[in-house]
Structure 1
Amino acid sequence: MDPQNSIRDIVPCSLCRFSMAPLHCKICVLRLQCSDCAENSIRELTNDHEEQQSVRRRRFLFCSFCNEHDIRCRAPFVKHFEISHDLKMLNIKRDLRELENYILPKYQNLTASIPVQDIGLNNIFKKLTTTLNKQGENLHRKVDSVKRKSDLDEIHSNCLSILEKRKVEIEHNITDISLSIAYLKKLLESGDFIPTKNYKSRNSDFRKKLHPEVKLILPEFITEELDREQIYHQFTSLFELSFRTKETSGAESSPTGRPLMEEPLTITSLNIIKHRSSSGGSLIDVACVGDENIWIAGEDMWFHMMLYTLQGELLKSVQTMSGYKPVGIAVTKDGELVYADGDDRTVNIVKKNTQIQTVIRLEGWTPANVCITSSGYLLVVMYSDDGEQSKVSRYNGSTELQSFQYDDEGQPLYSSESCLKYICENRNLDICVSDDETAAGTVVVVNQAGKLRFKYSGSSRTTKGSFRPFGITTDSQGRILVADFKNHCVHVLDQDGQFLCLIDNYDLFEPRGLCVDTRDNLIVAENKPCRVKKIQYCI
């Protein structure tokens, strides 16, 4: 390896000498520590250690190449060890394994399925043509006045063209993946520091483009005596070409699984104090925009909704049209903000130019929260104006497609109180609602048809107080994460409602809003501290 582009040694902890040292003393710099020793070392600091601050803070770490502390050393050098070369190499190996063993085979299987559909198309369209000809003998001019038989050839050609386009797109992605695999192998062989440090994973881009296998929804031709209007509708249905994808348990993700960490890590802590209009300001909800930015919603703030980077830079701020706080926020796949407003009973979209468009206006009901499904639909949890009912409705734009509020025994799924409710969709298409009832909070999970799957009312491990579920979200493994407001922790469940663990020892206080980024890092909005934390809880 080229020493100008590499680092040779992993610096050990100065206390235990066994673990790698990602931490260093801000006072003396040379006191390198691992995570396990850091807490103990704080208690051991002496006056002598502090008195040497003015001398030691100017010294430099030992250089692996020139055996000098000289600042003029030209060898590459990582002063704070925030990003470890070894950790980068592990990430590269993981990406390479996923590309070779999972993503590339998936694309290759999709390519292989298209020729099979080509053959099936020919046979099906031959049968359709024969049936259409036979029916045409009976319908004569009525058939010709609605649709021509020759149009089938055009549809057939369009089908083949769409499949060919899909095949070319997949083959192009396979080429890109193969190039990435070759580059990662070369990177692992060379171990060069600078290319390794600058490496950015493209696996998430490949996963986003990895659509399930495309299946054609082919038309049917019904042979029966019909009047002209009926014939028209039948042929309209015939000549509508549509596609659907196979049902899956959710968005594609790494098949290797992401186990929970024994000790989660707080990666970022962001204070939102300067934008409070009074000392009583608080955060209501949070929503991720990719891995770098977040929308937050608050009350008693100068702005109701604000877009931040995780480094604390304010990018954008928006007021609701009603002038009152939003009750919940979500982000579309295009990065546009959606918020529910309980004051004027609306659900609105904030365009990228900050113009606000009202999508849903309720009558007799008030929205309690909103989320975006994997299909782009809106799920709105709401309660009636008389406070006697609550329900969840699915919307395509402003059109209500589905609603559910009772179980199979006719009992209400959700509390009728106008209390806080948060909602999200899991990767298996279950709908999860946190229902903060006055007596006892509950998480209610139904399938996509609205059939009750289970309810969760807290764990015996939380003994500080009653279960108060607020924010709720899910990760790529189908795990459900619920903010327990009163017990200052986050419950982690599997997709069937089994308790897995608590995230409770990271100075959390009144966690209220939750979301998860594309790498399954948990974003927590804390209520009164007006603080946002990014926590890594799985490997």
Structure 2
Amino acid sequence: MLLEKLREETEELQHCLAPGYEILISDLEHKRTLQERSHKEVRENITEQGTYLHQELEKIIQRHLNEAKKLEEEDLSIIGKQISDMKSILSEIQKIIKENENLLKTKIIKYVLKHESENERFREVQKLIELSPPSFVSQRVPQETLSQLFGVLTCSVRREICPYPIPSATNLRSKREGLKVPEIIRTWKTGLKVSQKISCCLESDGCYVRSGNTIKQFNAAGKELSVTKLKSESHFLIDITVLKNNTLFFSDNRDRSVNSVKDNKIKTLITFDGWKPLAICSSSTGAILVSMQTDDETQSKVFRYSGTTASQEIQYKDSSTPL
């Protein structure tokens, strides 16, 4: 009895608990990769915003400097013209002074009688433009306001979650024993000649069924909810899968793409170059796993996608053995 119990405990550890924790670790490592990518994007966005603001600030500084230079040129031009006018008048006065001095030296009466005074003309000084000194009024922006204008960094949302349960020894024994006679859970009339693919809806307990280029959605009672028909000349559908939000995804071998179907609207999410997508499935974390092959079927690999971003690529079982 003790040896049997020890054997059962060992089998549970080997086939249930250890693989379960391996899956948990794999999911956590995947989440860490996504988190690292998100933090990198945040740093890049901060740097990009800083570069942008530096450039905009430099433009403002240069604009003010250009305006100040233009004002300086205008002001100095006005003062320079006034100086030039005054110098011209002074030169004329000095010329008259020399003429008067020569006249005084000669003392020739006929020339003295002909002399006309110019003093009155110079007593009325022409109006001058008075310039007040320029100024620059700086606006001191508080650091808190600058920080808000720069942007807001939000913290990661942290919450406790319950991971999916790890299979127990009871599940292991039931799987080992299996069903001697297949059990029919539910029977639906799909109206399709051949049901080539089926994918369950996790939230509604319904499913999607695919036959050829037709995909039908059924609820838990077997009622047909929607029909999506793909153009046979442009689509060669391989596999379907459904995410938790009931969004349907299908791989298109001919278009080399993965597409989503929501409210009967098809949207191409991912396209491949040199590779054709085959089977797809969704993970517990909401990612999509896509298996693919080269045209000559010599190479295979699996991509994990979070949205349209590839977060993991698997092409080798180890360092050298291909899939």
Q: TM-score if structure 2 supplies the norm length?
A: 0.46
Q: TM-score if structure 1 supplies the norm length?
A: 0.29
Q: Which has the higher strand share?
A: 1
Larger Rg: 2
